[in-house]
């Protein structure tokens, strides 16, 4: 159970009722409050209307597919989203992350793994929202400004639209300027738990960050690749 006493609310959007039911049963045992939706349209409506702590979102859904639901929810809310993807559909995982999902889990999955992921994602979101008001702490990095209390990066005074994960990855690298980290290390440090080895998550997040931070994402000056090893951050020369 989480640190605050209110039970956490989870929305399950999954059209296979047998899967939805077994997830619901197991999560209720853990103390979560569950709402189920059985197609993408119903799921999207509930996601936008409700105040959920996390959404479990199947990809293959009638009416509106999981990617579209993810994209539309993300336009309005930063609620953690875990996508449920079918085995071997690697492209689904990457696309889900590109559309703003926080995590994904591949079917068939074990309940313990699912619950671990749910806890990790809710804990992370809680840490970010429950952080007490601090005086703003801003660090400059080249022509970027990282506001550590507001989880914001500004470029030439303009706030960039980073997801929390993108912010955390950039902050992690920027605070350790010059040190090269492997994708595995970044998964562990920034994603915060064992990620079952899909290092492509890091590449996708780096690519998105570059699109937002860099003048020319094809010729990055902030987040650099050390071929065969990983990524590092550097302050561009003035």
Residue choice 58, 92, 102, 166 for contact with Ca ion (CB under 5 A): 58
**Residue 117: CB minimum distance to Ca ion, A:** 18
Nearer to Ca ion, 60 or 164 (CB): 60
Nearer to Ca ion, 60 or 148 (CB): 60
Residue choice 15, 92, 102, 166 for contact with Ca ion (CB under 5 A): 15
Nearer to Ca ion, 53 or 58 (CB): 58
- Please state whether 151 falls in left (phi above 0), alpha (psi between -120 and 50) or beta: left
Size of the site for Ca ion (CB under 5 A): 3
Phi, psi angle pair for 197, to nearest 5°: 80, 10
CA distance 126 to 208: 24
Q: Of 7-15, 28-36, 106-114, 179-187, which segment contacts Ca ion by CB under 5 A?
A: 7-15
* Residue partners of 19: CB distance under 8 A and separation at least 6: 58, 107
Q: DSSP letter string over 37-104?
A: ESSHHHHHHHHHHS--SEEEEESS-SSS-HHHHHHHHHHH----EEEEE-TT-HHHHHHHHHTT-SEE
Q: What is the largest CA-CA distance in the chain?
A: 59
Q: State the Cα torsion 194-195-198-204 to the nearest 10°.
A: -120
Nearer to Ca ion, 18 or 51 (CB): 18
**Residue 114: CB minimum distance to Ca ion, A:** 16
**Residue 1: CB minimum distance to Ca ion, A:** 29
**Residue 10: CB minimum distance to Ca ion, A:** 17
**Residue 56: CB minimum distance to Ca ion, A:** 12
92 binds Ca ion per the rule CB under 5 A = no
Contacts with Ca ion by CB under 5 A lie at: 15, 58, 60
């Amino acid at each position: 159970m989480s640190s605050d006493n209110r039970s956490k609310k989870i929305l399950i959007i999954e059209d296979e009722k047998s899967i939805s039911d077994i997830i619901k049963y197991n999560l209720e045992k853990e103390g979560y409050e569950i709402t189920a939706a059985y197609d993408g349209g119903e799921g999207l409506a509930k996601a936008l209307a409700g105040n959920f702590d996390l959404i479990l979102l199947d990809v293959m859904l009638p009416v509106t597919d999981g990617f579209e639901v993810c994209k539309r929810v993300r336009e309005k809310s930063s609620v953690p989203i875990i996508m449920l993807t079918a085995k071997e559909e690697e492209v689904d995982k990457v696309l889900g992350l590109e559309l703003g999902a926080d995590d994904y889990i591949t079917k068939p999955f074990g309940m313990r793994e699912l619950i671990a992921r749910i806890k990790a994602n809710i804990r992370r979101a809680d840490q970010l929202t429950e952080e007490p008001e601090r005086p703003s702490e801003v660090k400059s990095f080249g022509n970027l400004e990282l506001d550590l209390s507001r989880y914001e990066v500004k470029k030439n005074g303009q706030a960039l639209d980073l997801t929390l994960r993108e912010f955390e990855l950039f902050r992690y690298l920027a605070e350790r300027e010059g040190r090269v980290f492997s994708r595995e290390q970044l998964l562990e440090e920034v994603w915060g738990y064992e990620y079952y080895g899909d290092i492509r998550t890091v590449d996708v997040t780096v690519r998105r960050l570059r699109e937002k931070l860099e003048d020319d994402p094809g010729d990055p000056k902030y987040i650099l690749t050390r071929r065969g090893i990983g990524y590092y951050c550097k302050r561009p020369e003035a």
